[in-house]
Amino acid sequence: MAIDPSVDEQRRALAMTATLAAQAFKTSDDAVNAVLDVAQQITQHETVLISEINTARSELRIHAVQNTQPELTVPAGLTIPLTASPCQHVASSISPFISSDMHADAELAVLPAAKDMGASSYIGVPVVLPDGSFFGTLVGLDRAVHDSSEPMVQWMQILAQLAATHLQPVGQQ
């Protein structure tokens, strides 16, 4: 999607999101993977993922991931210090965080996603469970520079809400 998304792109995003919201899923994993598929189609980012963040331990674990390009692959189950991820900004504010070019920001450029994996673009929104507790993030990563529009952030927030209805923290499953 471009900075100023077209009406057709918005209609397409609405149709995909409405279809997703109306579906019944056999498992939580099926639902989460469907959310990631729609997020990837809306953002056009090479990798989309849902992280689970434990703020008390300052730890991030990749709960689910969809990688579309082998050059930018994030493994499911990967656990890293929260400070090693741009998701730290979402976790600290419980609000979206966007970087169109992490390499242009000295603080972000040294993080593994940018330095080791080559990601440039990051869009992350909080995933808040129905009980109001913070679960983690819904994220898009890409090696290309992407300017994320406000409508794209809003779609990601809607998708995060849909995902949240199917998620439980590890240990509560």
pLDDT tens-digit series, residues 81-122: 999 999 999 999 999 999 999 999 999 999 998 988 889 999
How many whole angstroms separate alpha carbon 102 and alpha carbon 121?
6
Q: What is the mean pLDDT of residues 10-15?
A: 89
pLDDT over 90, % of the chain: 75
Is residue 34 predicted with pLDDT exceeding 50? Answer: yes
Question: What CATH number was assigned to the domain covering residues 7-164?
Answer: 3.30.450.40
Q: What is the mean pLDDT of residues 32-42?
A: 95
Q: Which tokens sit at 89? A: 């900004």
Residues facing residue 139 across a β-bridge: 49, 124
The ranges assigned to domains in the chain are 7-164
Residues facing residue 118 across a β-bridge: none
Model confidence, pTM: 0.91
pLDDT of 138: 98
Q: What is the mean pLDDT of residues 131-157?
A: 93
pLDDT of 75: 94
| Residues making up the chain, counted from first to last | 173
